[in-house]
Amino acid sequence: MTDPQYHRDAYDSPWKEVLEHALPEFMAFYFPAAYAQIDWVPGHVFKNTELRQVVRDAELGKRFADTLVQVTLKDGEQRWIYIHVEVQGQRDSDFARRMFTYNYRLFDRYARPIASLAVLADEEAGWRPDSYGFEVLGCRHTLEFPVVKLIDYDYADRAELLAANPNPFALVTAAHLHTRRTKSDPQARYRAKLSLVRSLYRHGWERQRIIDLFSVIDWMMRLPNALEQQLWQDIEAIEGETKMPYVTSVERLATQRGMQQGMQQGLEQGLEQGRLEGKLEGKLEGKLEGKLEGKLEGRLEGKLEGLERLLVKRFGPLDEATRKRLDIATLEHLDRWTDRVLDASTVGAVFEDH
């Protein structure tokens, strides 16, 4: 999907929300072999805060979502692992290396197997990165990861299967394909979008799932203003028939988005018309505050990462209570605890006064 009119900010895409609210269905639709090996009964835990900490200094590329989730395997041991999912929006020559880097960084942090999975939402049929590695002096290090290409579903027989499939990600995939097909035909896009919205209510899904899926469809399939208004009237009629006024509640969000855009435009105009000295003062103040904040944050994160490494090497994998303690630590706490690591007999002794 490379049509900028319909997803101006890929980093704010709703892919992440629907993925988090329907992870089992995501796995069942795109990665059925992996889905079958997971025990979904104990539940799963998302670790996206931890993911951001691990990959904060990596090049992001243009992606629609990334997430880290802890799951349990049903292989007899009931052991838990981590799944790292990337939804990539366009061709990126560095993508495979980034997957490799994330995988070993996450393994280094958690000392647990990491399953890296990729959904490619670009339009280049020949671009299918699924491995990265190197070999030097007899040492070989390679990561091979499963890849799903959304345009592979763009065939007549698969289109029919998508329409009949009750999995919510069949609808997401269909929206992606319709977006590609209707780049230069707003009327066709309107009809396709309305058809997908109607299908939202035929499945009997709960309110939050319908809202999440509509957010993805609406983000992908942007329409000219006149057709957008017509669509909202059609949605109101559908919700009146089904007695499920779910999606129209999202219209308030759309209104809010428009207000925010208007405020941003007004701010930009005000800056252009403002006094030169005012702009210079604002820039200098913002630059100074940004530097100070960045230094403090970098110092805290560096000390936190160093202490975590020491704790893991000294006492093994950290439990949830220890990680929570570290998450709220100050620089003073981190310095004190780092001094104690080598002499402490237990991990509890490191934190004995906290």
> What b/e sequence results for 262-294 when a residue is b if at least 16 CB atoms lie within 10 Å of its CB, and e otherwise?
eeeeeeeeeeeeeeeeeeeeeeeeeeeeeeeee
**Length of the chain in residues, anyone?**
354
Query: Where does the chain show beta strands of DSSP type E?
Result: 38-39, 45-46, 63-73, 80-88, 114-120, 131-136, 139-144, 147-149
**Percent of the chain with pLDDT strictly greater than 70:** 74
Q: How far apart are CA 127 and CA 299, in angstroms?
A: 39
Q: What is the pLDDT of residues 148-180, one digit of tens each?
A: 999 988 875 666 677 778 899 999 999 999 998
Residue ranges per domain, the chain?
1-153, 155-253
Tell me the mean pLDDT in the region 97-106: 90
pTM for this entry: 0.65
Predicted confidence (pLDDT) at residue 36 exceeds the cutoff of 70 = yes
Query: Which tokens in the block code for residue 5?
Result: 């009119």
Q: How far apart are CA 25 and CA 38, in angstroms?
A: 12
Reported confidence tier of residue 142, pLDDT bands at 50, 70, 90: very high
Q: Report the candidate in 198, 154, 209, 186 with the shortest Cα–Cα distance to residue 25.
A: 209
Query: What is the model's pLDDT at position 250?
Result: 57
DSSP 178-225: HHHHTTT-HHHHHHHHHHHHHHHHHTT--HHHHHHHHHHHHHHS---H
Mean pLDDT value across the chain: 78
Q: How far apart are CA 196 and CA 213, in angstroms?
A: 10
Q: Which amino acid is present at 305? A: E
- Higher pLDDT: 278 or 138? It is 138
Q: Which residues pair with 82 in a beta bridge?
A: 70, 114
Q: How far apart are CA 265 and CA 259, in angstroms?
A: 10
DSSP 36-71: HTEE-TT--EE-HHHHHHHSTTS---SEEEEEEEEE
- Could you tell me if 71 and 83 are in contact, meaning their C-beta atoms sit under 8 angstroms apart? yes
Q: How far apart are CA 177 and CA 161, in angstroms?
A: 13
Reported confidence tier of residue 48, pLDDT bands at 50, 70, 90: confident
Q: How far apart are CA 278 and CA 271, in angstroms?
A: 9
Predicted confidence (pLDDT) at residue 1 exceeds the cutoff of 60 = no
Query: What is the model's pLDDT at position 294?
Result: 53
Question: Given its phi and psi angles, is residue 86 left (phi above 0), alpha (psi -120 to 50 degrees) or beta?
Answer: beta
